[in-house]
Structure 1
Amino acid sequence: MTSDTKRVGLNALHERLHRVLPNVQLTCQQLPQTPALKLWLLDELFPEQALEPGIVNAIMEEPPYWSFCWASGQVLAEFLINNPQWVKDRCVVDVGPGSGVVAIAAAQAGARKVIACDLDEDALTATAVNALENEVEIILSQNLDEALQEADLVTAADILYDRENLSLLTRFQQAERVLLADSRVPDLNPPGYQLLGEWQSCTWPDLGESSEYNGVRLFAAQP
Protein backbone atom coordinates (compact mmCIF):
# COMPACT_ATOMS: atom_id res chain seq x y z
CA MET A 1 0.00 0.00 0.00
CA THR A 2 2.85 2.38 0.83
CA SER A 3 4.45 1.80 -2.57
CA ASP A 4 1.15 2.43 -4.34
CA THR A 5 0.55 5.62 -2.35
CA LYS A 6 3.99 6.94 -3.26
CA ARG A 7 3.50 6.09 -6.93
CA VAL A 8 0.15 7.90 -7.05
CA GLY A 9 1.70 10.93 -5.36
CA LEU A 10 4.66 11.02 -7.74
CA ASN A 11 2.35 10.74 -10.74
CA ALA A 12 0.36 13.72 -9.45
CA LEU A 13 3.52 15.76 -8.91
CA HIS A 14 4.87 14.94 -12.39
CA GLU A 15 1.54 15.90 -13.93
CA ARG A 16 1.67 19.25 -12.14
CA LEU A 17 5.33 19.77 -13.04
CA HIS A 18 4.83 18.95 -16.71
CA ARG A 19 2.27 21.72 -17.11
CA VAL A 20 5.17 24.17 -17.03
CA LEU A 21 8.28 22.01 -17.62
CA PRO A 22 7.27 19.19 -19.98
CA ASN A 23 10.74 17.64 -20.27
CA VAL A 24 11.85 17.73 -16.64
CA GLN A 25 11.59 14.82 -14.21
CA LEU A 26 11.78 14.33 -10.46
CA THR A 27 14.41 11.95 -9.12
CA CYS A 28 15.18 10.75 -5.61
CA GLN A 29 18.32 12.56 -4.42
CA GLN A 30 20.47 12.72 -1.30
CA LEU A 31 20.95 16.21 0.07
CA PRO A 32 24.51 17.59 0.21
CA GLN A 33 24.24 18.69 3.87
CA THR A 34 22.07 15.85 5.17
CA PRO A 35 22.92 12.79 3.04
CA ALA A 36 20.85 10.49 5.24
CA LEU A 37 17.76 12.34 4.03
CA LYS A 38 16.40 11.74 0.51
CA LEU A 39 13.96 13.90 -1.45
CA TRP A 40 12.25 13.73 -4.82
CA LEU A 41 13.55 16.88 -6.53
CA LEU A 42 14.12 18.22 -10.02
CA ASP A 43 16.60 16.05 -11.87
CA GLU A 44 17.62 18.76 -14.31
CA LEU A 45 16.77 22.40 -13.87
CA PHE A 46 17.15 23.49 -17.46
CA PRO A 47 16.47 21.26 -20.47
CA GLU A 48 18.85 21.49 -23.40
CA GLN A 49 16.49 23.55 -25.52
CA ALA A 50 15.63 27.12 -24.59
CA LEU A 51 12.37 27.51 -22.71
CA GLU A 52 9.53 29.15 -24.58
CA PRO A 53 8.40 32.52 -23.18
CA GLY A 54 5.01 31.05 -22.27
CA ILE A 55 6.67 28.36 -20.15
CA VAL A 56 8.88 30.92 -18.43
CA ASN A 57 5.82 33.00 -17.57
CA ALA A 58 4.00 29.94 -16.23
CA ILE A 59 6.96 29.08 -13.99
CA MET A 60 7.05 32.61 -12.60
CA GLU A 61 3.31 32.69 -11.98
CA GLU A 62 3.04 29.24 -10.39
CA PRO A 63 6.53 27.97 -9.49
CA PRO A 64 6.90 24.30 -8.48
CA TYR A 65 8.81 25.39 -5.36
CA TRP A 66 8.21 21.99 -3.71
CA SER A 67 10.54 20.42 -6.28
CA PHE A 68 13.54 22.23 -4.72
CA CYS A 69 15.12 21.98 -1.30
CA TRP A 70 15.70 25.62 -0.39
CA ALA A 71 18.78 26.79 1.47
CA SER A 72 16.96 27.58 4.71
CA GLY A 73 15.25 24.20 4.69
CA GLN A 74 18.58 22.41 4.41
CA VAL A 75 20.07 24.43 7.27
CA LEU A 76 17.11 23.96 9.60
CA ALA A 77 16.89 20.24 8.81
CA GLU A 78 20.59 19.79 9.57
CA PHE A 79 20.19 21.79 12.79
CA LEU A 80 17.36 19.54 14.02
CA ILE A 81 19.27 16.36 13.21
CA ASN A 82 22.34 17.67 15.07
CA ASN A 83 20.28 19.06 17.96
CA PRO A 84 17.51 16.51 18.57
CA GLN A 85 16.76 17.97 22.01
CA TRP A 86 14.70 20.65 20.25
CA VAL A 87 12.18 18.12 18.95
CA LYS A 88 12.48 14.93 21.00
CA ASP A 89 9.10 13.83 22.36
CA ARG A 90 7.49 17.08 21.18
CA CYS A 91 4.71 17.83 18.70
CA VAL A 92 6.32 19.78 15.87
CA VAL A 93 4.28 21.86 13.42
CA ASP A 94 6.22 22.70 10.26
CA VAL A 95 4.64 25.62 8.41
CA GLY A 96 5.15 25.91 4.65
CA PRO A 97 6.94 22.56 4.32
CA GLY A 98 7.72 22.76 0.59
CA SER A 99 9.48 19.45 -0.07
CA GLY A 100 8.96 18.41 3.56
CA VAL A 101 12.66 18.49 4.44
CA VAL A 102 12.29 20.09 7.89
CA ALA A 103 9.27 17.99 8.85
CA ILE A 104 11.13 14.81 7.88
CA ALA A 105 14.23 15.87 9.83
CA ALA A 106 12.06 16.54 12.89
CA ALA A 107 10.57 13.06 12.65
CA GLN A 108 14.01 11.49 12.23
CA ALA A 109 15.28 13.43 15.25
CA GLY A 110 12.65 11.91 17.53
CA ALA A 111 9.61 14.18 17.50
CA ARG A 112 6.56 12.61 19.10
CA LYS A 113 4.33 13.93 16.31
CA VAL A 114 4.98 16.03 13.20
CA ILE A 115 2.32 18.07 11.41
CA ALA A 116 3.13 19.68 8.06
CA CYS A 117 0.81 22.62 7.45
CA ASP A 118 0.28 24.29 4.08
CA LEU A 119 -2.60 25.51 1.91
CA ASP A 120 -0.87 24.18 -1.23
CA GLU A 121 -2.00 20.66 -2.13
CA ASP A 122 1.13 20.07 -4.20
CA ALA A 123 3.41 20.88 -1.27
CA LEU A 124 1.48 18.48 0.96
CA THR A 125 1.68 15.78 -1.72
CA ALA A 126 5.44 16.31 -2.06
CA THR A 127 5.82 16.15 1.71
CA ALA A 128 3.82 12.91 1.87
CA VAL A 129 5.87 11.29 -0.93
CA ASN A 130 9.16 12.31 0.67
CA ALA A 131 8.02 11.15 4.10
CA LEU A 132 7.29 7.71 2.64
CA GLU A 133 10.70 7.69 0.96
CA ASN A 134 12.36 8.35 4.32
CA GLU A 135 10.07 5.97 6.23
CA VAL A 136 8.72 8.53 8.67
CA GLU A 137 5.14 9.47 9.54
CA ILE A 138 3.96 13.04 8.98
CA ILE A 139 0.42 14.33 9.40
CA LEU A 140 -0.77 16.75 6.70
CA SER A 141 -2.91 19.77 7.53
CA GLN A 142 -4.35 22.83 5.82
CA ASN A 143 -5.63 24.36 9.06
CA LEU A 144 -2.92 26.39 10.80
CA ASP A 145 -5.07 27.39 13.77
CA GLU A 146 -5.87 23.77 14.61
CA ALA A 147 -2.26 22.71 14.14
CA LEU A 148 -0.94 25.47 16.40
CA GLN A 149 -3.19 24.29 19.21
CA GLU A 150 -1.15 21.06 19.31
CA ALA A 151 2.28 22.55 18.71
CA ASP A 152 5.10 22.35 21.24
CA LEU A 153 7.50 23.63 18.57
CA VAL A 154 6.80 25.49 15.33
CA THR A 155 9.36 25.33 12.53
CA ALA A 156 9.40 27.44 9.37
CA ALA A 157 12.02 27.89 6.65
CA ASP A 158 12.07 30.53 3.90
CA ILE A 159 8.43 31.53 4.26
CA LEU A 160 9.21 35.27 4.23
CA TYR A 161 9.66 35.56 0.46
CA ASP A 162 6.26 37.26 0.82
CA ARG A 163 6.44 40.11 3.33
CA GLU A 164 2.77 39.55 4.15
CA ASN A 165 3.84 36.37 5.93
CA LEU A 166 5.67 38.42 8.57
CA SER A 167 2.44 38.53 10.57
CA LEU A 168 2.70 34.76 11.01
CA LEU A 169 5.73 35.15 13.29
CA THR A 170 3.52 36.47 16.07
CA ARG A 171 0.98 33.68 15.59
CA PHE A 172 3.72 31.07 15.81
CA GLN A 173 4.48 32.17 19.35
CA GLN A 174 1.31 30.48 20.53
CA ALA A 175 3.64 27.49 20.74
CA GLU A 176 6.21 27.22 23.51
CA ARG A 177 9.09 27.32 21.04
CA VAL A 178 9.66 28.49 17.44
CA LEU A 179 12.58 27.92 15.07
CA LEU A 180 12.65 30.21 12.04
CA ALA A 181 15.21 29.98 9.22
CA ASP A 182 15.42 32.71 6.60
CA SER A 183 17.68 33.76 3.75
CA ARG A 184 15.43 36.34 2.09
CA VAL A 185 15.08 39.25 4.54
CA PRO A 186 18.53 40.67 5.40
CA ASP A 187 17.20 43.11 8.01
CA LEU A 188 15.00 40.58 9.77
CA ASN A 189 14.83 41.16 13.52
CA PRO A 190 11.43 39.86 14.65
CA PRO A 191 10.19 40.83 18.13
CA GLY A 192 10.47 37.99 20.63
CA TYR A 193 13.03 36.08 18.54
CA GLN A 194 16.74 35.67 19.16
CA LEU A 195 19.39 35.01 16.52
CA LEU A 196 21.02 31.61 17.05
CA GLY A 197 23.55 31.95 14.24
CA GLU A 198 24.17 32.11 10.51
CA TRP A 199 25.05 29.26 8.15
CA GLN A 200 25.98 29.02 4.48
CA SER A 201 23.96 26.85 2.13
CA CYS A 202 22.32 26.91 -1.29
CA THR A 203 19.13 25.73 -2.86
CA TRP A 204 19.26 22.19 -4.27
CA PRO A 205 19.23 21.67 -7.23
CA ASP A 206 21.40 24.77 -7.33
CA LEU A 207 19.48 27.68 -8.84
CA GLY A 208 22.63 29.74 -9.22
CA GLU A 209 21.05 32.46 -7.10
CA SER A 210 22.92 35.51 -5.88
CA SER A 211 25.29 34.72 -3.00
CA GLU A 212 23.21 36.98 -0.76
CA TYR A 213 20.64 34.16 -0.59
CA ASN A 214 23.22 31.62 0.58
CA GLY A 215 23.44 33.09 4.06
CA VAL A 216 20.79 31.48 6.26
CA ARG A 217 20.00 32.97 9.66
CA LEU A 218 18.29 30.89 12.32
CA PHE A 219 16.06 32.53 14.93
CA ALA A 220 14.42 31.07 18.01
CA ALA A 221 11.51 32.17 20.15
CA GLN A 222 11.44 30.29 23.46
CA PRO A 223 10.86 30.82 27.17
Structure 2
Amino acid sequence: MRGDPEAFVTANTAIARPPLVPEVPLYLATEITSIWQATEAWLGEQGIEPPFWAFAWPGSQALARWILDDPSPVAGKRVLDFAAGGGLAAIAAAKAGAAMVEAAEIDPLAHAATRLNAGLNGVVVAEAPGDVVGSPCRWDTIMAGDVCYEAPMTNHILPWLRRLAAEGATVILADPGRAYLPHAGLSPIARYAVPVTRELEDREERTVTLFRLVP
Protein backbone atom coordinates (compact mmCIF):
# COMPACT_ATOMS: atom_id res chain seq x y z
CA MET A 1 0.00 0.00 0.00
CA ARG A 2 1.29 3.44 -0.86
CA GLY A 3 2.26 5.88 1.83
CA ASP A 4 4.25 9.06 1.97
CA PRO A 5 6.67 9.02 -1.01
CA GLU A 6 9.25 11.19 0.71
CA ALA A 7 9.23 8.92 3.75
CA PHE A 8 9.72 5.95 1.44
CA VAL A 9 12.73 7.59 -0.22
CA THR A 10 14.44 8.49 3.05
CA ALA A 11 13.76 5.03 4.51
CA ASN A 12 15.26 3.19 1.54
CA THR A 13 18.26 5.35 0.65
CA ALA A 14 21.27 6.97 2.27
CA ILE A 15 22.88 10.32 1.63
CA ALA A 16 25.86 9.81 -0.68
CA ARG A 17 27.90 11.77 -3.21
CA PRO A 18 28.16 10.78 -6.90
CA PRO A 19 31.81 10.14 -7.82
CA LEU A 20 31.92 12.67 -10.68
CA VAL A 21 29.96 15.33 -8.77
CA PRO A 22 30.95 15.00 -5.11
CA GLU A 23 29.75 18.51 -4.30
CA VAL A 24 26.11 17.42 -4.78
CA PRO A 25 24.87 15.08 -2.01
CA LEU A 26 21.85 12.95 -2.92
CA TYR A 27 19.54 10.36 -1.41
CA LEU A 28 20.78 7.23 -3.21
CA ALA A 29 20.14 3.50 -2.97
CA THR A 30 23.08 1.25 -2.18
CA GLU A 31 21.81 -1.89 -3.93
CA ILE A 32 19.36 -2.29 -6.79
CA THR A 33 17.52 -5.48 -5.85
CA SER A 34 16.37 -4.34 -2.41
CA ILE A 35 15.17 -0.91 -3.59
CA TRP A 36 13.40 -2.52 -6.56
CA GLN A 37 11.59 -5.00 -4.30
CA ALA A 38 10.71 -2.28 -1.80
CA THR A 39 9.30 -0.13 -4.59
CA GLU A 40 7.12 -2.97 -5.88
CA ALA A 41 5.81 -3.52 -2.36
CA TRP A 42 5.14 0.20 -1.86
CA LEU A 43 3.28 0.45 -5.17
CA GLY A 44 1.52 -2.89 -4.76
CA GLU A 45 2.66 -3.84 -8.25
CA GLN A 46 5.00 -6.43 -9.75
CA GLY A 47 7.17 -6.24 -12.85
CA ILE A 48 7.76 -2.50 -12.69
CA GLU A 49 10.73 -0.77 -14.29
CA PRO A 50 13.80 -0.28 -12.11
CA PRO A 51 13.66 2.71 -9.73
CA PHE A 52 15.86 4.93 -11.88
CA TRP A 53 15.49 7.84 -9.44
CA ALA A 54 17.49 5.97 -6.79
CA PHE A 55 20.82 6.06 -8.66
CA ALA A 56 23.08 8.76 -10.07
CA TRP A 57 23.28 7.45 -13.63
CA PRO A 58 26.35 8.30 -15.71
CA GLY A 59 24.47 10.62 -18.07
CA SER A 60 23.13 12.79 -15.26
CA GLN A 61 26.54 12.88 -13.59
CA ALA A 62 28.16 14.07 -16.82
CA LEU A 63 25.50 16.75 -17.32
CA ALA A 64 25.92 17.99 -13.76
CA ARG A 65 29.71 18.10 -14.08
CA TRP A 66 29.47 19.99 -17.38
CA ILE A 67 27.10 22.58 -15.90
CA LEU A 68 29.04 23.14 -12.69
CA ASP A 69 32.32 23.52 -14.56
CA ASP A 70 30.82 26.05 -17.01
CA PRO A 71 27.47 27.55 -15.93
CA SER A 72 27.02 29.56 -19.16
CA PRO A 73 24.61 27.08 -20.85
CA VAL A 74 22.12 27.48 -17.97
CA ALA A 75 22.91 30.70 -16.06
CA GLY A 76 19.92 33.05 -16.20
CA LYS A 77 17.97 30.62 -18.38
CA ARG A 78 14.86 28.46 -18.16
CA VAL A 79 16.02 24.85 -17.89
CA LEU A 80 14.34 21.46 -18.17
CA ASP A 81 15.89 18.28 -16.82
CA PHE A 82 13.96 15.69 -18.84
CA ALA A 83 13.61 12.17 -17.38
CA ALA A 84 15.30 13.70 -14.36
CA GLY A 85 15.42 10.70 -12.04
CA GLY A 86 16.49 12.10 -8.68
CA GLY A 87 17.14 15.53 -10.18
CA LEU A 88 20.93 15.64 -10.19
CA ALA A 89 21.27 17.68 -13.41
CA ALA A 90 18.39 19.94 -12.37
CA ILE A 91 20.08 20.64 -9.03
CA ALA A 92 23.35 21.42 -10.79
CA ALA A 93 21.53 23.87 -13.05
CA ALA A 94 19.94 25.59 -10.06
CA LYS A 95 23.34 25.81 -8.35
CA ALA A 96 24.79 27.28 -11.55
CA GLY A 97 22.34 30.17 -11.57
CA ALA A 98 19.48 29.10 -13.82
CA ALA A 99 16.52 31.46 -13.69
CA MET A 100 14.07 28.56 -13.45
CA VAL A 101 14.58 24.80 -13.38
CA GLU A 102 11.97 22.10 -13.97
CA ALA A 103 12.41 18.36 -13.51
CA ALA A 104 10.21 16.21 -15.75
CA GLU A 105 9.30 12.73 -14.54
CA ILE A 106 6.36 10.35 -14.69
CA ASP A 107 7.32 8.58 -11.45
CA PRO A 108 6.00 10.15 -8.21
CA LEU A 109 8.91 8.65 -6.29
CA ALA A 110 11.31 10.44 -8.63
CA HIS A 111 9.62 13.73 -7.81
CA ALA A 112 9.81 12.93 -4.11
CA ALA A 113 13.51 12.17 -4.44
CA THR A 114 14.06 15.40 -6.39
CA ARG A 115 12.29 17.44 -3.71
CA LEU A 116 14.45 15.87 -1.02
CA ASN A 117 17.64 16.22 -3.04
CA ALA A 118 16.90 19.85 -3.90
CA GLY A 119 16.28 20.61 -0.24
CA LEU A 120 19.48 18.84 0.73
CA ASN A 121 21.36 21.16 -1.64
CA GLY A 122 19.50 24.34 -0.75
CA VAL A 123 18.02 24.95 -4.21
CA VAL A 124 14.55 25.14 -5.77
CA VAL A 125 13.51 22.76 -8.53
CA ALA A 126 9.97 22.90 -9.91
CA GLU A 127 8.06 19.73 -10.83
CA ALA A 128 6.86 18.99 -14.34
CA PRO A 129 4.76 15.88 -13.57
CA GLY A 130 3.35 13.53 -16.16
CA ASP A 131 4.50 13.08 -19.74
CA VAL A 132 5.69 16.47 -21.01
CA VAL A 133 6.55 15.09 -24.45
CA GLY A 134 4.68 17.16 -27.00
CA SER A 135 4.46 20.23 -24.77
CA PRO A 136 5.16 23.64 -26.31
CA CYS A 137 8.66 24.89 -25.66
CA ARG A 138 8.92 27.05 -22.53
CA TRP A 139 12.62 26.41 -21.90
CA ASP A 140 15.92 27.77 -23.17
CA THR A 141 17.98 24.68 -22.34
CA ILE A 142 16.75 21.07 -22.21
CA MET A 143 18.96 18.31 -20.78
CA ALA A 144 18.32 14.59 -21.11
CA GLY A 145 20.63 11.92 -19.75
CA ASP A 146 20.54 8.19 -20.48
CA VAL A 147 17.26 8.34 -22.40
CA CYS A 148 18.12 6.24 -25.47
CA TYR A 149 18.20 2.84 -23.78
CA GLU A 150 15.05 1.45 -25.46
CA ALA A 151 13.61 1.89 -28.94
CA PRO A 152 10.08 2.89 -27.77
CA MET A 153 11.47 5.58 -25.46
CA THR A 154 13.80 6.96 -28.13
CA ASN A 155 11.07 6.98 -30.78
CA HIS A 156 8.69 8.70 -28.35
CA ILE A 157 10.96 11.57 -27.32
CA LEU A 158 13.32 12.32 -30.22
CA PRO A 159 10.83 13.98 -32.61
CA TRP A 160 9.73 16.30 -29.80
CA LEU A 161 13.29 17.14 -28.75
CA ARG A 162 14.21 17.85 -32.38
CA ARG A 163 11.22 20.20 -32.65
CA LEU A 164 12.34 22.06 -29.53
CA ALA A 165 15.82 22.42 -31.02
CA ALA A 166 14.33 23.70 -34.26
CA GLU A 167 12.40 26.30 -32.27
CA GLY A 168 15.63 27.64 -30.82
CA ALA A 169 16.15 25.72 -27.59
CA THR A 170 19.51 24.20 -26.73
CA VAL A 171 18.93 20.46 -26.36
CA ILE A 172 21.70 18.39 -24.79
CA LEU A 173 21.72 14.58 -24.77
CA ALA A 174 24.15 12.80 -22.44
CA ASP A 175 24.72 9.26 -23.64
CA PRO A 176 26.99 6.54 -22.18
CA GLY A 177 26.80 4.29 -25.22
CA ARG A 178 23.18 3.16 -25.09
CA ALA A 179 21.96 1.07 -28.00
CA TYR A 180 19.34 3.40 -29.45
CA LEU A 181 21.18 6.71 -29.67
CA PRO A 182 20.43 8.18 -33.13
CA HIS A 183 23.37 8.39 -35.51
CA ALA A 184 22.41 11.65 -37.20
CA GLY A 185 21.70 15.18 -36.06
CA LEU A 186 24.06 15.15 -33.08
CA SER A 187 27.08 17.35 -32.46
CA PRO A 188 29.44 16.19 -29.66
CA ILE A 189 30.42 18.93 -27.22
CA ALA A 190 32.04 17.14 -24.25
CA ARG A 191 33.12 13.73 -23.03
CA TYR A 192 33.52 12.34 -19.50
CA ALA A 193 34.77 9.11 -17.95
CA VAL A 194 32.27 8.30 -15.20
CA PRO A 195 32.94 5.70 -12.49
CA VAL A 196 30.03 3.22 -12.26
CA THR A 197 29.23 0.00 -10.42
CA ARG A 198 29.25 -3.43 -12.01
CA GLU A 199 25.84 -4.14 -10.51
CA LEU A 200 24.28 -1.43 -12.69
CA GLU A 201 26.58 -1.27 -15.71
CA ASP A 202 28.61 -4.55 -15.81
CA ARG A 203 31.80 -2.48 -15.84
CA GLU A 204 33.62 0.05 -13.66
CA GLU A 205 33.58 3.06 -15.97
CA ARG A 206 31.37 4.51 -18.68
CA THR A 207 32.43 7.07 -21.23
CA VAL A 208 29.62 9.60 -21.53
CA THR A 209 29.42 11.91 -24.53
CA LEU A 210 27.36 15.08 -24.41
CA PHE A 211 25.72 15.90 -27.72
CA ARG A 212 23.92 19.01 -28.83
CA LEU A 213 20.88 18.14 -30.90
CA VAL A 214 21.27 19.83 -34.27
CA PRO A 215 18.04 21.40 -35.60
Q: TM-score, normalised by structure 2?
A: 0.79
Structure 1: 5+ residue stretches without partners:
1-7, 16-24
Identity, % of aligned positions: 28
Matched, 1:216 2:208: yes
Residues 2-81 of structure 1 mapped to structure 2, 5 A cutoff:
9-13=5-9, 25-44=12-31, 61-81=48-68
> Over aligned residues, Cα RMSD in angstroms?
2.9
1:172 aligns with 2:161: yes
Look up the SS of the partner of 1:136 in the other structure.
coil
Q: Deviations over 1:115-148 (max 9, x none)?
A: 1011111111111110111111011012515865
Q: Are residue 157 (structure 1) and residue 178 (structure 2) matched?
A: no
- Asked if structure 1 preserves the Cα contact closer than 8 Å seen for 2:151 and 2:180, the reply is no
SS of 2:195's partner is: coil
Moved over 4 A (4+): 44-47, 145-148
Query: Which secondary structure state, in structure 2, belongs to the residue aligned with residue 165 of structure 1?
Result: helix
Q: Distance in 2 between matches of 1:65 and 1:191?
A: 27
- Once the two structures are superposed, the pairs formed by residues 81-120 of structure 1 within 5 Å of their partners are 81-120=68-107
- Give structure 2 stretches of 5+ with no counterpart: none
AA aligned opposite 1:107: A
Is 1:198 aligned to residue 185 of structure 2? no
Which is worse superposed, 190-199 or 87-96?
Answer: 190-199
Query: Number of paired residues?
Result: 199
Is 1:132 aligned to 2:119, yes or no?
A: yes
Q: Does the 8 A contact of 1:70 with 1:202 survive in 2?
A: no
Compute the displacement of 1:151 (Å).
Answer: 0.8
